[in-house]
Amino acid sequence: MKILVAVKRVIDYNVQVRVKEDGTGVVTDNVKMSTNPPDDNAVEEAVKIKESGKGKEIVAVTIGEDKAQETVRKALAVGADRGIHVKSEGVLEPLAVSKILQKIVEKEKPDLVFMGKQAIDDDCNQTGQMLAALLNWPQATFASKINVKDKSLEVTREVDEGLETIEVNTPAIVTCDLRLNEPRYASLPNIMKAKKKPLEQINASDLGVDIKSRIEQIKVEEPPKRKAGIKVASVAELVQKLKNEAKVI
Amino acid sequence: MSALLIAEHNNKEVRPFTLNAITAASQIDQDLHVLLIGSKADEVAKTLAGVPNVKKVIYVDNEIYENYLAENFTPVIVKHAENYSHIICSANTFGKNLMPRVAALLNTSQVSDIIKVISPDTYLRPIYAGNAFATVKSTDQKKCITIRPTSFDPAATSGGSAEIVKGEAAEAFQQIKFIKREEVKSDRPELGTARVVISGGRGMQNSDNFKLITAIADKLNAAVGASRAAVDAGYITNDHQVGQTGKVVVPDLYIAVGISGAIQHLAGMKESKIIVAINKDGEAPIFSVADYGLEADLFEALPQFLEELNKLNTIQK
C-alpha cells in the first residue's frame, strides 16, 4: 500500500503559549516549533506498516511557510521515502487544507492517507474528515489500533463510550490518536540521510483551489485568570474548606 | 431561517451531550429543529419532542442507521440542510467525527468546539488547549458549528410538545462496515463528564500507589486521572491522561496529587471550578492554579484525606 502522511508544524506542546498584546493571535516569534504530536503517531504507524511488508511507499506532505519543511524532514528521518511541501503563507482553515490535500491525493493516488486527529494549535479536529468527504472515501478517525488487511483496514477507534471497531475499504483516511503507538526518535545517521531524500515543492496558489479564509478572527485573548488560592495547613482544614466554603464534597 | 441540531443517541436514549448542545443551539436560533437519524428510535423521538427548546423533530428511521457511521449520516444531513442557516451538534467524539464531513460537502468552514454564543454568527472558542480564547465570526452562508458540551447547561426534557415528522433516508455508504462497540464498564464516572476528578502524577512513584487515589475516587464517586509523566512512567494507562494531549476536563472539583503542573497538564484541567493541589514541593507550579494547596507528603496526606472523608459521612448519617 502507498501511504500519504500529512504533518503540520505547530508550537511545541511544552511551550507556554502567550497571547499577543494587540489581540491578533499568539506569539510565535522565537518560539520552539515541532511536528503536531498526533502527526508523529501517523508517521510512526505508516513506517510500521512499511516495515511489516504491507506498505510500499510513504510520502510525507506538509502545507505552510518554508520552515514547515522541518516537519517533512523529520518524517523522512524516521522512515518516509519522499516529501512534498505545499508552500503557502498565513493561516489556512481546515477546509482549505483539505482542498489542497485533495489535489495532492489526486496526483499521488495513495491507498491510505494518515494524519493526526487534531492539531494542537487551532484544535479544530476537521481536516481528515473533510478530506474524506471531498474524496468520498471512508474515514477512520481517532484510531488507536490498525490492522492492515488485503484491501481494507480494521480500525479500533477511541470514542466517548469506549472503543469502536470498524472496517474501511481502501482507499481510506485514518486520523491517529496518541494511543496508536509510541513514535520513535530519529537517529543521527538517519537525520543525515533524510537530507538527501527528495522533497518536492509546490505552490498552493498553483493548485487552483479556493483557500480563502471564511472565518474572521475578531480577537484572541487570555482566558480568564484564576484568582489566587490559599495554602491550607492540614488535611482536616482542606476537607473542611471543600465542604463548607467551596461546597463541592 | 432555522437551526438544525443533529442528535446523538443509541436508539433508546438521547446521549446527554445532545441536551447541552440544544441549549447552545437555541441561543443561536430559537427556531430549533432536531434531526434524529436512527433505527427504531421512536422513544428517542418522543424524548426530543419533549424538550421545550425544540420546535420540530425530523425523524429518519431506517435499519441502516442502527449503528452510527458518519458516512451514512452525512448524506441525510446534507439532504435536509437546505432549509437551515446553521447545522449544529455536540463537540464530543460523535460530533467531531461527523460535522467536518458534513461541512466539507456544504463547502462551509466549520467552527469547532464553541464555548459561548456571542451572536448568531460570532462565537467564542478555546484554542491552544484553552491557553487562549478566540472570538470568531463565520462568514459562510450556511454555518456548521460544534458545541463544547461542558460549557452549556443541559436542556430540560419535559414540558415541550414539538411535532415529529418523518424524514427521508439516504443511500448507505458501501466502503465501511461497523464491527463492534465495546463500552468501558466502570463503576466510576467517565473522565470527561465526572463531577469530581482525582489525578496522580509522577509523585505517585509506582502503579501500586495509585490505590491511594482510587480509594478516594471510590469515596467521592470521582473519575481517576493522571499526568502525562505518570502515564509515560507506566504507572497507569493513557486513557487516564489529562492534558493538552490527553483529555480536557472541567469538573466541579479537581484534585491533583503529586503533579508538579507542567504546562501541558494545566491546559487539560485549569478550567475546573475548584482545584486542589497536594504536593510536597511548595514551589510546584500547580499551586499557582490551585484554590486550595496543601504542601505535604502525599503518602501521609492521602490516607488522612480518606479518613477525613469517612468522618464526614459519619457526621452526615
The DSSP secondary structure of A116-170, one letter per residue, reads ES--TTT----HHHHHHHHHT--EEEEEEEEEE-SSEEEEEEEETTEEEEEEEES
**What confidence category does residue A231 fall into, taking pLDDT thresholds of 50, 70 and 90?**
very high
| Minimal C-alpha gap between B8 and chain A (Å) | 12
Nearest CA in chain B to A249: B220
Nearest to B101 among A38, A123, A133 (CB): A133
Per-residue pLDDT tens digits for A62-106 = 999 999 999 999 999 999 999 999 999 999 999 999 999 999 999
Which H helix or E strand runs over B24?
helix B16-28
Find chain A residues with C-beta within 8 A of B293's C-beta. Answer: 229-232
- A21 close contact with B: CB closer than 8 A: no
Return the closest-CA partner of residue B305 out of B257, B235, B252. B257
Per-residue pLDDT tens digits for B91-144 = 999 999 999 999 999 999 999 999 999 999 999 999 998 889 999 999 999 999
Query: Which of the following CATH numbers is that of domain B196-316: 3.40.50.720, 3.40.50.620, 1.10.3720.10, 3.40.50.1220?
Result: 3.40.50.1220
**What confidence category does residue B307 fall into, taking pLDDT thresholds of 50, 70 and 90?**
very high
Return the closest-CA partner of residue B83 out of B168, B2, B165. B2
Which superfamily is assigned to B2-166 in CATH? HUPs (3.40.50.620)
Residue B127: the pLDDT is 94
> What is the three-class DSSP state of B117?
strand
Determine whether the interchain pair B103/A95 forms a contact, defined as Cβ–Cβ distance below 8 Å.
Answer: yes
**What confidence category does residue B314 fall into, taking pLDDT thresholds of 50, 70 and 90?**
low
| Minimal C-alpha gap between A122 and chain B (Å) | 5
Nearest CA in chain B to A234: B294
Beta-carbon neighbour count of residue A199 at 10 Å? 17
| Minimal C-alpha gap between B315 and chain A (Å) | 12
Please give the model's pTM, rounded to 2 decimal places: 0.91
Residue B288: the pLDDT is 92
**All domains of chain A, ordered by start, with CATH?**
2-245 (3.40.50.620)
Identify the bridge partners of residue B225 per DSSP, sorted by sequence position.
B199
Give me B286's grid cell.
Answer: 500547580
Residue B317: the pLDDT is 34
Determine whether the interchain pair A221/B128 forms a contact, defined as Cβ–Cβ distance below 8 Å.
Answer: no
Find chain B residues with C-beta within 8 A of A121's C-beta. Answer: 127-128
Determine whether the interchain pair B93/A154 forms a contact, defined as Cβ–Cβ distance below 8 Å.
Answer: no
> B153: buried, middle or exposed (CB in 10 Å: 19+, 13-18, 0-12)?
exposed
Q: What is the mean pLDDT of residues B38-60?
A: 97
ipTM > 0.90, yes or no:
yes
Nearest to B110 among A13, A126, A154 (CB): A126
| Minimal C-alpha gap between A203 and chain B (Å) | 22
